[in-house]
Structure 1
Amino acid sequence: MILVLITVASLYPAQYLPSVPGSDKTHHFIAYCALMLPIALRRPKYWLAFALLFIVWSGLIELIQPHVNRYGEWLDLAANAGGVLLAIIIAQGLHGLIALRKT
């Protein structure tokens, strides 16, 4: 569901989007962190494949955006990848803390 919301918001004409505080890169970072975190916490068998899929997906969105009256920016892709990476780091840290508490 989060991926659908991100995709729609990323391809929707910018002039119709609500104004929200914060920078565009921050929004990208938070959105992709929120997308990856539940998967990284759950750690399914192919969680790394999900991370790569989300990064590739965000790159495809950046390529499509100029065709729907938006601007594709490679820094957006970097912010998206950073959000995915932060989610993995948070999840690994939480899993490490849980393992320490069990011992």
Structure 2
Amino acid sequence: MAHPLAWTTLWCLAIAAVVVFSLLPAPDLPDAPGSDKLHHFIAYFALAASAVQLFARWPALFGAGLGLVLLGVGLEHGQEVLTGTRIADRWDALANTLGVIAGLLTRLTPMKDVLLRWDTRGRANA
């Protein structure tokens, strides 16, 4: 990978964004039934699939996945404890966890190194 620090920084910023948005006051906009769970799944899927792009070895990837699961569960607890407008929801934590698992499973697909191929394509032509 040509720019590992840049990509890892972006991944960390994405994690920080999830933390911030998880602890901000809940918006008063109505959601379609179940859409909240879909948002949780997609956010954690994206974080885990991004980890697949960044960490080539299974132990590092497992650590990233475990960290994301713990983050998702911890943030659900934090919503209850740290905010006055949100409550902990075990179904949100499950959606987070399933998103992490699905994202990690991209390691078993041809998409596992798409960032590496994209990030180094300019070097092949140089």
TM-score range, shorter chain: 0.7 to 0.9
Q: Show the counterpart of 1:101.
A: none
Q: 1:52 aligns with which of 66, 72, 75?
A: 66
Q: Please report the TM-score for the alignment, with normalisation by the length of structure 1.
A: 0.80
1:1-103 to structure 2, matched below 5 A, reads 1-15=13-27, 23-45=35-57, 46-67=60-81, 68=83, 69-94=85-110
Look up the SS of the partner of 2:27 in the other structure.
helix
Aligned-CA RMSD value? 2.3
> Alignment identity in percent?
27
Tell me how far apart the structure 2 counterparts of residues 42 and 62 of structure 1 sit (CA, whole Å): 26
Larger radius of gyration: 2
Runs of 4+ in 1 over 6 A off after TM superposition: 18-22
Q: 1:20 to 1:6 in 2, by over 3 A?
A: farther
Structure 1 pair 20–4 and aligned structure 2 pair: CA distance change class (3 A): farther
In the alignment, structure 2 segments of 5+ residues that lack a partner are 1-12, 115-126
TM-score calculated relative to the size of structure 2: 0.67
**Deviation, structure 1 residue 40:** 1.1
Q: In structure 2, what is the Cα distance between the partners aligned to 1:15 and 1:49?
A: 32
Q: Deviations over 1:42-64 (max 9, x none)?
A: 33331100000010011111111
